Structure 1
């Protein structure tokens, strides 16, 4: 049906009529989207079935990637691109009087993730399929995602995401493969065959129903699977109010990251995590048993990869199955489990290294707690034998300590591989955050620097730049991004740079039109487009960006001799519902925008735009248009970052600290092609360890800092009362945990260099071209090849043999 546009048109009209029972003339845009989506999914089906059959027939290892988030974005456009049928569809629709781009806009972004963790997982699935590797995702089918963000009087308001309101054309419900999950109750021991056995009784069951989505490889026949689990009531009576049970059950797969300020939220989050792993491992084991019978070689044919600490309960859950259902000895079960699980750490933030109160964990998951307790006992005994008398070391490494279950400790102990996501992040883990574990298990630790899929973030998001690159160096880079380095030969070619300038100008106009439609605001598309889009968190330092804008605004108003190239600052970020400090920063950005954008005295030199509801489909318009990429986290705090890679690939120049993958970007493109400022990670960690930083000194010695901080509390922003006092206090009374004031002067100097360099258009465009040329290293294909070879033990020639 996609062999040519005539066959496509015929099939499209026939499908539409059969699906909706109406003529093309009566049909709506949503009818067109669902018709096309169903056609594409049917087209995918043959390869999806063939991939599954090949997996069953071959004795190749399978990888299952467990993640609490998968930030997929829209799938219609990327599936058409990967299948190589985009042009046929576009041409056929045009002859029917339809625009493919308009139909793509009908699709909702899948509400399955929030930030870099989820987007990385989505890029990894794309790379696994595109490299013909047998790797599948396992996640939760959140009915309402994280939340839809709205601004009301500048404040963030959270509304439920309604991404499933019109169904999800890509998913296939598989109720026959549902898994029953048990919570609460108690564990009963009994003797059988002269062995002590355990059974979970009087528990509360819920049903995990899988919804499978195809993950289509680029120009290949491999179609892998993302399995998402939905929580539904179990099909038998329970001793509880039925409506309460139904509400509590459905809540498990209703929202991503429910507020865990109180115990009720903590219980729900822990329920979600066990729900994800119990359903996924139950399904994986059932499939494996069907093919292989015994689980004795499970670890040789399966790797279960846990993306951060959220799925760590995979370790005790697999132990439970091997002990209670397979009747294995502890020693054999532990050998299989610890050789099956691999773990990626994504953070050094202590609050993100999850710790669950035992008084919540034990009643909710009684059998799992027993197993974790036993893992801890045996681990501590092993440590005692290795480090006799070192009570402090054992206390600091224990999985259970001080009334808490330490999930990161469990992850390291129960896995065969622990990887960080950028060179500096891995070194910090080894030498500081997890140093005791590294000393005990040095062979487990390794680095895998993150990557992004160029198929989504260049080919799909920026067809204008894609065409220019194809015209310049051919198409080999589309399969092998290291070939982008050929562009370096054109970095001083005036004809190429002029075309690059025109591409950027076009993308700025596209973004400008989107901003006009979304906000009613008109931006200057000849201005520097300066972008910071990421989760709103104090360590990511959106506040530093804001204070710089306030400084520029003050300087423009007070010093008539001060001039800058017009600058449009764009923000996109969600703050967690219970993160009140971050929500105050959102209000501050919006209050600043209100002030700056309506002041004729600065003659349009500055504009501030905070785009609501930042998501993948919005990002696809932002990254290609950006001139400046704000990567300004406190050094040592950002594990890697992937937004920095997307900006780089689209020709934006980085202003950033030497943090996360910024360091490796500098190694690839050279410090002369970016704008580095601020403390190093070593300096930051030294301050944390030894003290010596007093933010008040910077306040008293820098009049620029004094002015902007006073403006937070002196009525400069009308009608906010004392709303920004906590921000002011965090910088002075609480000694500025993330060194905003320490890095302020260095940041202003770097921004001055940005302004000066931008005015030298040839220099700027040369730097931009070099960033694109050296961005190929940051392909998720490179990352996944390293995971496959070094961790998972997969053959890269999987489907080509």
Structure 2
């Protein structure tokens, strides 16, 4: 070991750098780029401010400091990332490849500080530099790479894969614009551009040398090669280039740092010089615009043909880039293409990447000259498929003609896959034409269509649901024929969430209280939360627990006032429903209860009622008119209730705008009651239900999705259950469900609906909610009216329970203490053991023993 002395350009001081000799190379350790001490962190921030931002402290802006701090943290991630990659490649370990159209990561800075274990050190470093760390953390714009639960789950899984030291790489799209920024104007949702990249993204690294060509449109030529083999040559109409952008994903207090690799679409030639010289300026850049549109925005509106085409192009674009990248990694290791599945296990997160089955076959057949049997063997040993929906309309399909216009070669391959598969099916289910039709990848009808879930099922070696009830219902409903045909493929992998972001980061006061009692090991081993149970009846611990809850409610109340202008009482019950706005999630059932409470108070002003603050948040899909109408209903009821002096000290309504990861982190810790009220049999799992329970909220819910398992582990007495079961929902529909009879027979329900219909909450405009009201009383596809009476009765029990502060505190503590099962670490362990067959690979840094 020796010491080098170098002069620091900022302080003009001599800095000693410790190095070690390793195979005739000097390896720098614990210097300003990788050290974790307060002094090293300060030095790193100043270096990045000067050398990267081109600023010095006196003229640096808040964003300059944020960028400098982020680059300082990223340097420490990269040290671990390069070590991880090196160790994975040298050990020739099987790598998990996660294909997802969404990743709702949330802001990186604070999460990386926690996972590095240097939050306090960075807090001190910034303080000594005269900068407030929280001020910089609040500056970060979160990546707009997802829409809802699918993206949040993918983010949790990436965190757990790294924390469990599993070799993994996530693949997706680097959307220039996220789903949208939600604003509420005159009570309506208005979509604004989510330009999350406007200030730059310090966490990503452009890998311009990693780029792949993706073909689109055109036609296919067929010919016989010199060896007499039938070959295909795809002649595309358009070729797009996919460029890799890597984001390091660090595990919690480990050296493992995996990559999230996102693809940006570009034109192979961005500027046509000849067109420009001839005066055709638009054509000179036209190719660039067309190609860049593919990764421009998350989920373009697909109500038009052009929107549908763009969505299909997006899905194929990222899948093709990802598979070409994996094949390149595999071959660079000196492996044979026939052994690709030994190197990679590829998980399809829902049907968005299901085209990977056909693309893998194309690459193996057309680019790597495998025979069909060998290519199909590799493909079916590579992919596993996670289903996320029980809604038949949500199982993705593509019009055959549209699909063929975008992916002509893949249409040929799907026909061949389907033909060979149905030959097997016909033998196995002789004479059962219904089952043959059900299993076919090609759907018949006025216009033929491709069933992407069927493509995923036939090409995958494993199929899983995401909650015990969901997996059971998959076998009985949307995938019942697949289960009958290949039962060995099916398993359940109940979703989970990472406690690092959803407890440690979002609820530091509760984290400190828990760790004070049971230590910090629970953060990586969430089952150890059960050690809290011994304190559930301790009056002093209950008092401390509820004081933390009150402080989080006070913080949220301040944010609500600033965001909406509504003043709420932190002592009231915070009744929270935050999730995507959708009819099956039944925000309108919650509103009907809210109106019922309002009417009770108006009819009996002296009624002794537990004060409640109803907090809603969530985005409606831009083209989903009924969901937008539900938002308008919530805000309209809120406008009246919040301004009625007879009730507003006991009842308040808040619609918190622009629900995203950042805002979710602020809302979950403040929740007293978690609304999980979807129609039984409709929610695959849910993850918000887990995050809210982890943070001490009690759940009111149906037996739907993961609610079933949450109720099992927290105890029936600590869960407020109401409503029809999935079996009863099916039975009621089969018997001929008539919502109008419920409307007529319940006075409180009828009054609430009549008020909405009459314009009572909309300045006497009796037309604005007409579609919503008619849908409820004449159709009610999600049985809102059937569950209303049970729901209101259960809410009365919730109010009575809230009066007993000690009993409520006990239930809250037990909800948190019993949530160990719902860590994403547990989910990933099950995937590793049962599906992917991979093991942890601990990573050592240079200089580690």
Are 1:217 and 2:251 counterparts?
yes
Instruction: Give the match for residue 324 of structure 2.
Output: 282
Instruction: Give the match for residue 478 of structure 1.
Output: 523
Mapped contact 1:438–1:445 kept (Cα < 8 A): yes
Distance 1:285 1:569 in 2: 51
Distance 1:597 1:520 in 2: 11
Instruction: Give the match for residue 263 of structure 2.
Output: 229
Tell me how far 1:180 sits from its aligned partner. 0.6
Are 1:307 and 2:349 counterparts?
yes
Are 1:634 and 2:684 counterparts?
no
Instruction: Give the match for residue 694 of structure 1.
Output: 738
Distance 1:426 1:242 in 2: 52
User: Matches of residues 364-513 of structure 1 in structure 2 within 5 Å?
Assistant: 364-402=406-444, 403-513=448-558
Instruction: Give the match for residue 353 of structure 1.
Output: 395
Instruction: Give the match for residue 716 of structure 1.
Output: 760
Tell me how far 1:686 sits from its aligned partner. 2.3
Instruction: Give the match for residue 776 of structure 1.
Output: 820
Are 1:207 and 2:241 counterparts?
yes
The 3-state SS of whatever aligns with 1:8 is helix
User: For the structure 1 residues 511 and 406, does the alpha-carbon distance in structure 2 shift closer, same or farther, using more than 3 Å as the test?
Assistant: same
Distance 2:240 2:366 in 1: 20
Mapped contact 2:256–2:842 kept (Cα < 8 A): no
Instruction: Give the match for residue 535 of structure 1.
Output: 580
Q: Bigger shift: 268-277 or 720-729? A: 720-729
Are 1:332 and 2:374 counterparts?
yes
Pick from 99, 105, 119 the counterpart of residue 66 of structure 1: 99
Are 1:86 and 2:119 counterparts?
yes
CA deviations on 1:523-551 (whole Å, 9 max, x unpaired) are 10101011101111100000100111111
Instruction: Give the match for residue 27 of structure 1.
Output: 60
Pick from 164, 168, 171 the counterpart of residue 197 of structure 2: 164
Instruction: Give the match for residue 178 of structure 1.
Output: 211
User: For the structure 1 residues 344 and 96, does the alpha-carbon distance in structure 2 shift closer, same or farther, using more than 3 Å as the test?
Assistant: same
Q: Bigger shift: 296-305 or 533-542? A: 296-305
User: After TM superposition, what 4+ stretches of structure 1 lie above 6 angstroms from structure 2?
Assistant: 236-240
Distance 1:283 1:797 in 2: 22
Distance 1:37 1:623 in 2: 26
Distance 2:37 2:158 in 1: 29
Mapped contact 1:635–1:681 kept (Cα < 8 A): yes
Tell me how far 1:28 sits from its aligned partner. 1.2
Tell me how far 1:692 sits from its aligned partner. 2.8
Q: Please give the TM-score of this superposition, normalised by the length of structure 2.
A: 0.93
CA deviations on 1:257-293 (whole Å, 9 max, x unpaired) are 1111121111111111101100111111111111134
Pick from 784, 806, 812 the counterpart of residue 762 of structure 1: 806
Instruction: Give the match for residue 579 of structure 1.
Output: 624
Distance 2:601 2:305 in 1: 50
Tell me how far 1:237 sits from its aligned partner. 8.1
Mapped contact 1:785–1:796 kept (Cα < 8 A): no
The 3-state SS of whatever aligns with 1:113 is coil
Instruction: Give the match for residue 782 of structure 2.
Output: 738
Instruction: Give the match for residue 74 of structure 2.
Output: 41
The 3-state SS of whatever aligns with 2:555 is helix
Tell me how far 1:681 sits from its aligned partner. 1.0
Tell which structure's C-alpha radius of gyration is larger. Answer: 2
Q: Bigger shift: 430-439 or 21-30? A: 21-30
Are 1:517 and 2:562 counterparts?
yes
Tell me how far 1:798 sits from its aligned partner. 5.1
Mapped contact 2:605–2:646 kept (Cα < 8 A): no
Distance 2:59 2:46 in 1: 12
Tell me how far 1:328 sits from its aligned partner. 1.1
Tell me how far 1:385 sits from its aligned partner. 0.8
The 3-state SS of whatever aligns with 1:109 is coil
Instruction: Give the match for residue 149 of structure 2.
Output: 116
Mapped contact 2:215–2:236 kept (Cα < 8 A): no
CA deviations on 1:698-747 (whole Å, 9 max, x unpaired) are 0110011111111122120234451211110111222x110000000111
Mapped contact 1:788–1:796 kept (Cα < 8 A): no
Mapped contact 2:266–2:291 kept (Cα < 8 A): yes
User: Matches of residues 51-62 of structure 1 in structure 2 within 5 Å?
Assistant: 51-62=84-95
Q: Please give the TM-score of this superposition, normalised by the length of structure 1.
A: 0.98
Tell me how far 1:519 sits from its aligned partner. 2.0
Q: Bigger shift: 388-397 or 185-194? A: 388-397
Mapped contact 1:133–1:799 kept (Cα < 8 A): no
What are the ranges of 5 or more consecutive residues in structure 2 without an aligned counterpart?
1-31, 276-281
Tell me how far 1:644 sits from its aligned partner. 0.5
Tell me how far 1:242 sits from its aligned partner. 4.8
Mapped contact 2:611–2:651 kept (Cα < 8 A): yes
Instruction: Give the match for residue 189 of structure 1.
Output: 222
Tell me how far 1:563 sits from its aligned partner. 2.4
Tell me how far 1:564 sits from its aligned partner. 1.3
Distance 2:589 2:634 in 1: 11
Tell me how far 1:43 sits from its aligned partner. 1.5
Instruction: Give the match for residue 673 of structure 1.
Output: 718
User: For the structure 1 residues 603 and 265, does the alpha-carbon distance in structure 2 shift closer, same or farther, using more than 3 Å as the test?
Assistant: closer
Distance 1:178 1:25 in 2: 41
Are 1:251 and 2:293 counterparts?
yes
Distance 1:236 1:111 in 2: 25
CA deviations on 1:7-35 (whole Å, 9 max, x unpaired) are 32233223312233332122111111000
Pick from 242, 262, 275 the counterpart of residue 304 of structure 2: 262
Q: How many residues align?
A: 799
CA RMSD of aligned residues (A): 1.5
